[in-house]
């Protein structure tokens, strides 16, 4: 068993070294470090008592190796010995990998800035602006009890153009460990996060694809053969889609829980039939509890333009960006309540929040 584990770890390192050798963009700093080590190191002679020469490498070279390994390879390598396990399961390595793989504004925020002490910088003038904020135009009822609408009212009041310039992002470490949510890495969500390095948890959050399948949402009139149906298809990212045949009242709602502060691009993956037609205005909504809301509107003219551009192929439509300032549930929806007009010929696969670099004033 130990031989097989070591063989897997050694194979991961060999793949890394091969990748490094073929990488023409290796930084000057790493080249200098490697050259200095090559000059000062003694000739290698394998000693079965001491074991692998990898344990004698300086930390800088381990960082370089880590840059070229997948997280699966790092996991296998950590199983080869206790010293490598301690190194790979350290905040130092995962902080380095975040800074290596992500733009500076993202790396700075999620390795340091976001965990700074929360500050309340709102002034009385800003609070006055909050109280006078306009209700979102897509809300029909003043007494709506829907969580999406309640979040939209709060977003319009507390996170409008006047107030957000004074806000900072904040995340409590204890909350993060207890509530971190992964959408792609389902297995890691069941682990005891208290024993996992903080920056390792953050690294996996940053690379995670934050997607929700339409089939996991609340779809009014779903599985009524005349209106909307759940269809299995290999063309879907999730294996199943919601297909609109013909409906008067279009309403799809869902949520994405425990989304961390940051700037995100919101998009839907969908497909149009040649018969696609939607009278009235269709609204694509993304409303965080503590952030700026998105309300992107499509008319039938836009639908026809999309048919010309994409035909009947699947495509991803960007619906705008949102900035979140505190951990939030993000409520998402597709709505067209225009009656008595009917809608037809669309399929929805999933929606996604994609992390974006921050501008300097937001970082």
74 within domain boundaries: yes
Instruction: Choose the final residue of a domain: 32, 61, 89.
Output: 89
Do 83 and 215 share a domain, yes or no? Answer: no
Nearest C-alpha neighbor of 100 from the set 75, 73, 66, 76: 66
181 within domain boundaries: no
Instruction: Choose the final residue of a domain: 72, 89, 106.
Output: 89
Nearest C-alpha neighbor of 286 from the set 354, 195, 185: 354
| pLDDT at res. 353 | 97
Q: Which residue has the tokens 């990748």?
A: 19
| pLDDT at res. 358 | 83
142 within domain boundaries: no
The answer to whether the CB of 281 falls within 8 A of the CB of 138 is no
| pLDDT at res. 227 | 93
102 within domain boundaries: no
For the chain, what is the domain count?
A: 2
**pLDDT tens, the chain, 363 aa long:** 444 444 554 554 455 445 444 444 444 444 344 434 434 444 445 455 555 667 777 888 888 889 999 989 999 988 988 888 888 999 999 999 999 999 999 999 999 888 876 555 444 334 434 444 444 555 554 444 578 888 888 888 888 777 777 788 889 999 999 898 898 865 544 556 778 899 999 999 999 999 999 999 999 999 888 899 999 999 888 899 999 999 988 999 999 999 999 999 999 999 999 988 888 889 999 999 999 999 999 988 998 899 999 999 999 999 999 999 999 999 999 999 887 778 899 999 999 999 999 875 443
Report the sign of the C-alpha dihedral through residues 218, 341, 286, 164, in that order: negative
250 within domain boundaries: yes
Instruction: Choose the final residue of a domain: 39, 74, 89.
Output: 89
Q: For the packed helices 104-111 and 198-207, what is the interaxial angle rounded to 10 degrees?
A: 140
343 within domain boundaries: yes
Do 220 and 82 share a domain, yes or no? Answer: no
231/241 Cα distance (integer angstroms): 5
The range of the structural domain enclosing residue 276 comes to 210-356
* Start-to-end CA span in the chain (Å): 47
The answer to whether the CB of 156 falls within 8 A of the CB of 136 is yes
Do 221 and 351 share a domain, yes or no? Answer: yes
| pLDDT at res. 50 | 55
350/305 Cα distance (integer angstroms): 21
267/265 Cα distance (integer angstroms): 7
Q: Cα angle at 48 between 47 and 49, to 5 degrees? A: 90
- Whether the bond between 340 and the residue before it is cis, its omega within 30 degrees of 0, is yes
265 within domain boundaries: yes
Q: Rounded to two decimals, what is the model's pTM?
A: 0.78
Is beta strand 328-336 parallel, antiparallel or unpaired with respect to 282-288? antiparallel
138 within domain boundaries: no
| pLDDT at res. 363 | 39
Residues 6+ apart with CB under 8 A from 191: none
Could you tell me the CATH number of the domain that includes residue 236? Answer: 2.60.120.260
203/353 Cα distance (integer angstroms): 16
| pLDDT at res. 11 | 54
């Amino acid at each position: 068993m130990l031989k097989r584990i070591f063989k897997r770890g050694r194979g991961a390192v060999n793949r890394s070294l091969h990748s490094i050798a073929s990488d023409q963009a290796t930084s000057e700093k790493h080249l200098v470090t490697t050259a200095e080590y090559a000059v000062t190191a003694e000739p290698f002679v394998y000693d079965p008592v001491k074991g692998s020469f990898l344990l004698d490498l300086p930390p800088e070279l381990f960082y370089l190796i880590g840059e070229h390994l997948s997280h699966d390879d790092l996991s296998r390598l950590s199983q080869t010995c206790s010293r490598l396990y301690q190194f790979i399961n350290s905040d130092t390595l995962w902080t380095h990998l975040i800074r290596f793989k992500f733009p500076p504004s993202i790396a700075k925020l999620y390795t340091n800035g976001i965990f700074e002490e929360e500050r309340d910088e709102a002034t009385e003038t800003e609070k006055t602006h909050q109280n006078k904020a306009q209700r979102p135009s897509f809300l029909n009822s003043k007494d709506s009890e829907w969580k999406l609408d309640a979040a939209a009212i709060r977003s319009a009041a507390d996170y409008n153009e006047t107030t957000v310039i004074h806000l900072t992002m904040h995340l409590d470490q204890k909350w993060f460990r207890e509530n971190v949510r992964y959408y792609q890495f389902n297995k890691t969500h069941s682990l005891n996060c208290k024993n996992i390095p903080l920056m390792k948890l953050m690294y996996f959050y940053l690379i995670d694809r934050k997607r929700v399948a339409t089939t996991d949402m609340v779809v009014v009139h779903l599985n009524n053969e005349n209106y909307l149906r759940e269809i299995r298809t290999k063309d879907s990212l999730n294996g199943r889609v919601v297909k609109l045949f013909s409906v008067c009242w279009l309403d799809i709602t869902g949520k994405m829980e425990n989304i961390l502060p940051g700037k995100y691009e919101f998009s839907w993956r969908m497909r149009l039939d040649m018969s696609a037609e939607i009278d009235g205005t269709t609204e694509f909504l993304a409303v965080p509890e503590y952030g700026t809301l998105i309300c992107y509107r499509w008319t039938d003219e836009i639908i026809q333009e999309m048919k010309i551009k994409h035909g009947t192929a699947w495509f991803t439509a960007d619906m705008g960006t949102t900035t979140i300032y505190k951990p939030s549930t993000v409520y998402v929806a597709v709505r067209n309540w225009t009656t008595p007009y009917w809608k037809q010929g669309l399929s929805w696969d999933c929606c996604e929040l994609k992390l974006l670099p921050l501008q300097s004033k937001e970082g």
